[in-house]
Amino acid sequence: MHQFLLYVGFGIVTAAVLSLSAVALTLEFAVSRVANLAHGELLTIGAYAAYEFLQWTNSVALAALGAALVGGIAGIAMNLGLIERFAGRPPIITLIATLGLSLMLQNILIIIFGAANLGYSINQGSPHHIGPFLLTDAEILVTLSALAVASALYLLLQRTKFGKALRAVSDNRELARVSGIPAQHVVTATWGIAGVIAGFAGFVLAETIGTFDPSLGFSYLLITLAAAVAGGLGRPYGTLVGALLVGLVLELAGAYSNSSYQLAFALGVLVLLLLFRPNGLLVSGRTVTRS
């Protein structure tokens, strides 16, 4: 039991990182109705930005901030440069376009930074016992920051005018626009927010794994999709739950079997979800309905 809880603890950390990436993807889907397969690159860009900031300033805080900032800019650029250019086209067309973009971005990063692994040298801190869990300073920080982001997002969505506008736009963009909401700006701003979260997530992810290369985000994309789909595409709170579930499943599966198969498990979960519960675990039905 003790062992099990330890893994649950690790699962929570995994879920924390995953929730950041997944909730950003969900925001993108919510306002643009698009499965952004170049989403992973927002994380990768964040990870590299953090690396540069660390080289430059040697401050973890600034690196994190830098990752978020650059991620946000990248998110806005992605939206204006690609997603909006395909507005009105069937979502599958935009999806294929994002695949093309993903390929481009990964290779641009290869040209700039090289294909080799890079790493941060950040002090992980010593492990602490928190209840039944055993976590390092770094892991605690990661979990706390995920919680902070989730809370900030909640406040944003529920308590601000912007949040209300976002929910309206994600429901029905035309209707929102006709009701006087500057839908275009809301969409762009949402992608900026998603980019900020994703960039930060990239930094955290790279920091957790230890090393990273230009394929960081793309490798993480499918796990992110699994979490997002588990919660129901387009539903931010569901995504957080989905991330928790997938994170736990990953850790436990990795613990009780060969841990290299973790990725295969995650992907298996994704495929199963899409087949039997494409609307997320919380909604029944095997055919996809709009969220």
Partner 1 sequence: MSYWISILTEACIFSIMALGLNVIWGWAGDFDLALYGYVALGVYLTIVMTTGPALSPTQYILGWHLPYVLAVLLAVVIVLPIAAIVGAVALRNLREIYFAITTLGVISVLYVIVQIYTPLFNGFNGIAGLVTPMAGPLHISYSNYAYFLLALCAVVLLIVVVVLQRLSSSPYGRAIRSIRDNEQAAAAFGRSVFRSKLTAYVLGAGLAALGGTLFAAYLGAFNPSAWAPQEILTLYAAVLVGGRGNVRGVVAGTFIVYIGFIELTRYLPNVGGNAEFGPSVRQILIGGLIVVMLKFRPQGIFPDRHGVPRSARRTQGTSGATGGGWRDRLPLLAGRASGGRPEQDVIS
Which residues are CB-neighbours of 34 under 8 A, at least 6 positions away?
A: 28, 83, 86, 91, 94, 95, 98
Distance, CA of 155 to CA of 123 (rounded, Å): 32
- Torsion from C-alpha of 80, 86, 88, 91, nearest 10 degrees: -110
Max Cα separation, the chain? 57
Distance of closest approach, residue 169 Cβ to partner 1, in angstroms: 20
* String of contacts with partner 1 for each residue 179-218, x by CB under 8 A: ------------------------------------x--x
Distance of closest approach, residue 44 Cβ to partner 1, in angstroms: 12
Query: Taking each helix axis from N to C terminus, what angle separates 39-57 and 91-113, rounded to the nearest 10 degrees?
Result: 30
Distance, CA of 41 to CA of 187 (rounded, Å): 19
Report 234-273 residues binding partner 1 (CB under 8 A).
258, 260-261, 263-264, 267-268, 270-271
Distance of closest approach, residue 114 Cβ to partner 1, in angstroms: 6
Using rule CB under 8 A, residue 108 touches partner 1: yes
Q: Which is nearer to partner 1, 66 or 254 (CB)?
A: 254
Structural contact between residues 230 and 281, judged by C-beta atoms closer than 8 angstroms: yes
Using rule CB under 8 A, residue 289 touches partner 1: no
Distance, CA of 155 to CA of 151 (rounded, Å): 6
74 to 81, 191, 195, 219, 289: CA distances (angstroms): 10, 9, 6, 19, 30
* Size of interface with partner 1, in residues (CB under 8 A): 46
Report 45-104 residues binding partner 1 (CB under 8 A).
82, 85-86, 89-93, 95-97, 99-104
Report 128-187 residues binding partner 1 (CB under 8 A).
none
- The residues that touch partner 1, with contacts defined as CB under 8 A, are 35, 37, 82, 85-86, 89-93, 95-97, 99-104, 106-108, 110-111, 114-115, 215, 218, 222, 225, 229, 258, 260-261, 263-264, 267-268, 270-271, 274-275, 278, 286-288
